[in-house]
């Protein structure tokens, strides 16, 4: 499933880009792109810092979902193929 499909799946309405679920999906796509970039450009420290910041933000959003909406959290983790 592509990130566009996942965004559409988790949106509450057509313009929803702010819910935690959608933010996690979008961050996961950005993280994957940046990880590919860093494999090619290993010494790009600024991009590595940005990657770590995004990973931390995604972790915080996932923790928020795990506490408030455990069913959505489990479904999202499964769809994105992330570790718990």
pLDDT, residue 66, reads 96
CA distances from 56 to 13, 24, 27 (A): 27, 11, 10
Write down the pLDDT at residue 4: 85
pLDDT in the model for residue 78 = 94
Q: How many contiguous H segments (helices) and E segments (strands) does the chain have? A: 4, 0
The CATH fold of domain 3-80: Helix Hairpins (1.10.287)
Residues of the chain with pLDDT under 70: none
């Amino acid at each position: 499933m592509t990130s566009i499909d996942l965004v559409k799946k988790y949106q509450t309405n057509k313009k929803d880009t702010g819910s935690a679920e959608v933010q996690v999906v979008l961050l996961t796509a950005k993280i994957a792109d940046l990880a590919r970039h860093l494999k090619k450009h290993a010494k790009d420290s600024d991009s590595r810092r940005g990657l770590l910041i995004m990973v931390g933000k995604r972790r915080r959003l996932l923790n928020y979902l795990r506490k408030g909406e455990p069913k959505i959290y489990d479904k999202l983790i499964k769809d994105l193929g992330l570790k718990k």
